[in-house]
Structure 1
Amino acid sequence: MAKAPTRTNRERTETTRLALIEAARALFVTKGYADTSTPDIAVAAGITRGALYHHFTDKRDLFRQVLLREAQAVTADIEAATPDQLTPRRALLDGSEAYLNAMRVPGRTRLLLIDGPAVLGLAEIMAMDDATSASSLREGLSRAGMGKGEVSLDALGRLLSAAFDRAALEIDAGADVGEVRAAMLWLLERALGAEKKR
């Protein structure tokens, strides 16, 4: 019988961190940040509280890592939907739809758009957003030539990002997905203007 390969310390560390992040995510979604304790998380992950504090400073630090993982997953979905061969316009529209789809993962909107700002503060959430999906949006706006020479690309990106976040909140609250998606794409199409003929 073949002997199972021995895991390295790094692999064990990553496995433990991932177990804590996944257990914490599930509890933060079902119970909320305030009603989730570190003992709850440790029990759900099958890990001691001491191990939790070995990997994370405190509950807030663990929450931050949960949110970062969620934000990175959204960005990965946007990037997967916008391969380089798409026209800048098509990439921006497809990336927008990918964002709305990615935010429909159960609990994600609550984590990133409701609990995140309340727990970590708006400045930290905006910095996290700037490093992930907002960065993808700015790149898409730049490639599509939106606002060039007329308005600040950063300001335009922040305003459109806020509109997308509001759309995600509307969908999460039970609004008709098709209607919200259609309205967001209509808004973006108008902002892009008429497609130039080649």
Structure 2
Amino acid sequence: MRRSREETNETIHTLLQIAQQHFTKRGYSAVVLEEVAQAAGMTRGAVYHHFRSKKGLFQHVLEAVQVIIGQHVEKEAMKSDDPWEQLHLGCRGFLEAAVEPHHRRIVLIDGPAVLGWETWRRLDEQNSMSHLREQLAMMQEQRLLKPMPLDALTHFLSGALNESALWIAESEDIAAAMRQSMDVLNAILEGIRT
């Protein structure tokens, strides 16, 4: 009897949730697929059937986490109708979501190390960076930003946010590091405002 698409999707969802817990708690290198499969009540073969490898499973987990972060960024930004406030709220939302304990190791530490910078950057571009670029493009159209190349600005701000997230995540006082990062970001954004 063939499994329904719904059952398959539920299996994949369960594996991703359990794998995320394992990757978050122990890090990529310490996770063994047999443990993930056992925790999901499945065989290692079932994991390989859906994801082909531990690295493939990790990439799917990273993609799922990046989608969650992107959704959080968008939700935070939409708390205001003002484009500048949307930009500030979205950037803060990214930093908050990226440094969450159940996100930071997967997104900021293991992601680039396991998948390589090229793959990690492509996934980042498809999620958080795409929201940032959309906001900046809209603001350029409304002449709220000084004229400058949109791609360069997007990559510059995205890089600054990613590096800030790493720094905040490693800080002893996360709240203070968040405030300091937002102060610097606000100063930079004021410099590009028309």
Match 1:189 to one of 181, 186, 192: 186
Match 1:124 to one of 104, 107, 119: 119
Whether contact under 8 Å (1:142, 1:153) holds in the other structure is yes
Query: What TM-score does the superposition give when structure 2 sets the normalisation length?
Result: 0.87
* SS of equivalent to 2:29: coil
Whether contact under 8 Å (2:112, 2:120) holds in the other structure is yes
Whether contact under 8 Å (2:15, 2:40) holds in the other structure is yes
The aligned residue for residue 162 of structure 2 is: 165
Distance 1:60 1:173 in 2: 25
Structure 2: which amino acid aligns with 1:180?
Answer: A
Distance 1:162 1:175 in 2: 22
Distance 1:51 1:31 in 2: 22
Any gaps of 5 or more consecutive residues in structure 1?
Answer: 1-7
Following superposition of structure 1 onto structure 2, how do residues 71-110 of structure 1 map, counting pairs within 5 Å? 71-83=66-78, 86-110=81-105
The superposition leaves residues 171-191 of structure 1 with CA deviations (integer Å, 9 ceiling, x where unpaired) of 221342333222332233223
Tell me how far 1:147 sits from its aligned partner. Answer: 5.6
Structure 1: which amino acid aligns with 2:170?
Answer: A
Tell me how far 1:193 sits from its aligned partner. Answer: 2.4
Q: 1:175 to 1:159 in 2, by over 3 A?
A: farther
Structure 1: which amino acid aligns with 2:158?
Answer: S
Q: 1:173 to 1:59 in 2, by over 3 A?
A: same
Tell me how far 1:84 sits from its aligned partner. Answer: 8.3
Whether contact under 8 Å (2:98, 2:108) holds in the other structure is no
The superposition leaves residues 85-109 of structure 1 with CA deviations (integer Å, 9 ceiling, x where unpaired) of 6111010001111112212322311
Distance 1:174 1:193 in 2: 26
The superposition leaves residues 19-70 of structure 1 with CA deviations (integer Å, 9 ceiling, x where unpaired) of 1111111111222111211111101111111211221111111100000000
Tell me how far 1:130 sits from its aligned partner. Answer: 0.4
Distance 1:55 1:33 in 2: 18
State yes or no: 1:66 paired with 2:64.
Answer: no
Any gaps of 5 or more consecutive residues in structure 2?
Answer: none
Q: Structure 1: which 4+ aligned runs deviate by more than 6 Å? A: none
Q: What is the root-mean-square deviation of aligned Cα atoms in Å?
A: 2.1
Distance 2:46 2:38 in 1: 11
Distance 2:168 2:122 in 1: 24
Distance 2:27 2:81 in 1: 40
* SS of equivalent to 1:193: helix
Distance 1:106 1:84 in 2: 24
Distance 2:91 2:42 in 1: 39
Query: What TM-score does the superposition give when structure 1 sets the normalisation length?
Result: 0.86
Distance 1:14 1:179 in 2: 41
| Identity across matched positions, percent | 34
